[in-house]
Amino acid sequence: MSSPTTVPPDVFDLDHEQVVFCNDPATGLRAIVAIHSTALGPALGGTRFYPFSSTAAALNDVLDLSRGMTYKAALAGLDLGGGKAVIIGDPATAKSEPLLRAYGRFVQSLGGRYYTACDVGTYSPDMDVVARECSFVTGRSTSHGGAGDSSVLTAYGVFQGMRAAAEVAWGAPTLAGRTVGVAGVGKVGHHLVRLLVEDGASIVINDVSPAAVARVVGEHPDVRVFGSTDKLVASALDVYAPCALGGALTDEVVEVLSAKVICGAANNQLAHPGVEKALEERGILYAPDYCVNSGGLIQVADELEGFDFDRAKQRAGSIYDTTRDVFRLAAADGVPPAIAADRLAERRMRDVGRLRGVWLPAD
Ligand SMILES: NC(=O)c1ccc[n+]([C@@H]2O[C@H](COP(=O)([O-])OP(=O)(O)OC[C@H]3O[C@@H](n4cnc5c(N)ncnc54)[C@H](O)[C@@H]3O)[C@@H](O)[C@H]2O)c1
């Protein structure tokens, strides 16, 4: 999880709007909903069902994740704020219909300030159950009018971000003839490999799951496989695409990487503050994670209007332009792209968010 610390933060020292603890001993529900910002609209973010070691660890995670959602939605051009929820427990044993429905009633009690969706440990059929008690649910299964698996457009968005990075690095928005290393070929990574192969890239992969590797090699026999991420990272690459866990970009990885571009789906790729500067100093162009991996959020946000895949895909295609804007601002301001992405998101929150101050009779 993104935050290993178990010291409980003082939530009043942070900039979150609202943090809600939900306790239902009969079903075993222990959940925390964090609403970081509603400057641009209702907060949207998934529910992570995970056996956190402590309440403090869960709280730290949900506070970090909800802030990240604010920036992701703002940069993606959505009229949504940032929120996230965690349910403390092992989903394999603790998840039940009564627990999910109890959770749904708590989310309903927030009156639409927070919309929930899937995350680690929760799936579309779970959202269908939550939706039996709650109107503020997205990421439901297609049979319930939902957007279903968000990894399809997440991969599409990462591909568009990578095209924008290729244009800066090599002068043309294509990966044709480039070697791309995809670390993690799960739901997002395997779709990304397909898009890259279609574009004419050579692919190297690695994954700790032999089944995940076998699926990709079965579909694309020319893909080369490395036994570890360390070996993949140290190989001759043009692009590195972290698509497994967060924290992939450590000082050691920055040191050995031959790739000129980093662009992948994983959340929170920078292992610690300062890595973005080290990447810049080594001449490696980093496409900020939350900029390029917002396709899934765009997909589930579309469900709020009645899901239309083609419309959602078109919106996810705009990640190409957004990534270009980030690189342009980075060059103009002389800052790493990760800083430029934050500046663009904050600018939109300020400039669009202030319009709420123009009073309308319906407000
Ligand atoms: N699914 C989405 O729509 C979405 C949206 C935004 C961000 N993300 C992020 O993208 C990443 C991938 O998401 P996903 O939905 O494909 O998840 P997933 O669980 O389907 O795939 C992750 C893959 O990484 C592999 N993996 C795990 N640890 C590894 C390691 N140490 N080395 C190599 N491979 C390893 C797993 O075996 C798995 O195949 C995650 O960080 C996720 O938070 C996903």
pLDDT in tens, 49-59: 999 999 999 99
361 contact partners, CB below 8 Å, separation of at least 6? none
pLDDT in tens, 49-104: 999 999 999 999 999 999 999 999 999 999 999 999 999 999 999 999 999 999 99
pLDDT, residue 3, reads 47
pLDDT, residue 266, reads 94
Catalytic residue among 84, 95, 187, 231: 84
pLDDT, residue 8, reads 79
Is 84 part of the annotated catalytic residue set?
yes
Which of ligand 1's atoms lies nearest the C-alpha of 244? 24
Identify the burial level of 274 via C-beta atoms within 10 angstroms of its C-beta, where 0-12 means exposed, 13-18 middle and 19 or more buried: exposed
- CA–centroid distance, residue 190 to ligand 1 (Å): 10
Residue 121 Cβ < 6 Å to ligand 1: no
What is the arithmetic mean of pLDDT over 181-210?
Answer: 97
Q: Residue 277 carries which side chain, given as an amino acid letter?
A: K
Percent of the chain past pLDDT 70, that is, above it, reads 98
- Contact between 182 and 148 (Cβ < 8 Å): no
The residue contributing the CA closest to ligand 1 atom 41 is 266
Strands 18-24 and 29-37: antiparallel
pLDDT in tens, 291-316: 999 999 999 999 999 999 999 999 99
pLDDT, residue 149, reads 82
The residue contributing the CA closest to ligand 1 atom 25 is 184
- CA–centroid distance, residue 35 to ligand 1 (Å): 25
pLDDT, residue 72, reads 98
Confidence of residue 127 (pLDDT cuts 50, 70, 90): very high
The residue contributing the CA closest to ligand 1 atom 40 is 266
- CA–centroid distance, residue 356 to ligand 1 (Å): 37
For residue 184, the tally of other CB atoms under 10 A from its CB is 25
Residue 122 Cβ < 6 Å to ligand 1: no
Test site for ligand 1: of 119, 182, 194, 245, most ligand atoms within 8 A of the Cβ: 245
Asked if residue 130 has pLDDT above 60, the reply is yes
Strands (E), the chain: 18-24, 29-37, 43-50, 81-88, 114-118, 179-183, 202-206, 224-225, 239-242, 261-262, 285-286
Q: How far apart are CA 283 and CA 278, in angstroms?
A: 9
Residue 173 Cβ < 6 Å to ligand 1: no
Residue 362, φ and ψ in degrees, nearest 5: -80, -15
Strands 29-37 and 202-206: unpaired
pLDDT, residue 135, reads 97
Percent of the chain past pLDDT 90, that is, above it, reads 91
Residue 150 Cβ < 6 Å to ligand 1: yes
pLDDT, residue 91, reads 96
pLDDT in tens, 219-256: 999 999 999 999 999 999 999 999 998 899 999 999 99
- CA–centroid distance, residue 4 to ligand 1 (Å): 19
- Contact between 45 and 84 (Cβ < 8 Å): yes
Q: How many residues does the chain have?
A: 363
Residue 207 Cβ < 6 Å to ligand 1: yes
Residue 153 Cβ < 6 Å to ligand 1: no
Asked if residue 1 has pLDDT above 70, the reply is no
Helix, strand or coil for residue 239? strand
Question: The tokens 């935050």 sit on which residue?
Answer: 3
- CA–centroid distance, residue 167 to ligand 1 (Å): 26
pLDDT, residue 11, reads 87
Residue 151 Cβ < 6 Å to ligand 1: yes
Asked if residue 4 has pLDDT above 70, the reply is no
- CA–centroid distance, residue 54 to ligand 1 (Å): 24
